[in-house]
Amino acid sequence: MATLIGVYRGKSGPRRAIAKFLGVSSCDLARITDSRLGFTRQWKSLVERLEAEGHHTHTCVVASDASAAISAASAGREPCVLIDDGGGTLSMIVDWNDLALAAGNVARYERILRSKLLMY
């Protein structure tokens, strides 16, 4: 099972919380995952399906809170989604262009993600 790690652009803290509550975000990944009070129902459903299929777990982290390994792999190209193949190697699987194409739509993101996962 591989781990997917979404990396939000920006920093955590009060500004991010306020932007999230107001429903405004400049991060295309946050537009896909976030509602005013947490993750959207559609996002939670996608994560549950991926795990139930036995293929992948999917977590998210804000760039400013990321580990050194995640920061090195995303290297200022946030927002993005990285994949850890289980051996500790992190690769970018979904880039900022893909996330922009999803346009905040979880179903569109899922199609993009699954097409990228075919390579793994």
Block means of pLDDT (10 residues each) for the chain, 120 residues, are 88 57 70 84 95 89 92 93 89 96 96 91
**How much is the pLDDT for 88?**
82
**How much is the pLDDT for 21?**
54
Q: For the chain, what are the domain ranges?
A: 2-117
Write down the CATH number for the domain with range 2-117: 3.40.30
Which residues, at least 6 apart from 97, have a Cβ–Cβ distance to it below 8 Å?
none
Of 112, 5, 120, which is closest to residue 67 (Cα–Cα)?
5
**How much is the pLDDT for 9?**
86
Cis preceding linkage at 14, omega within 30: no
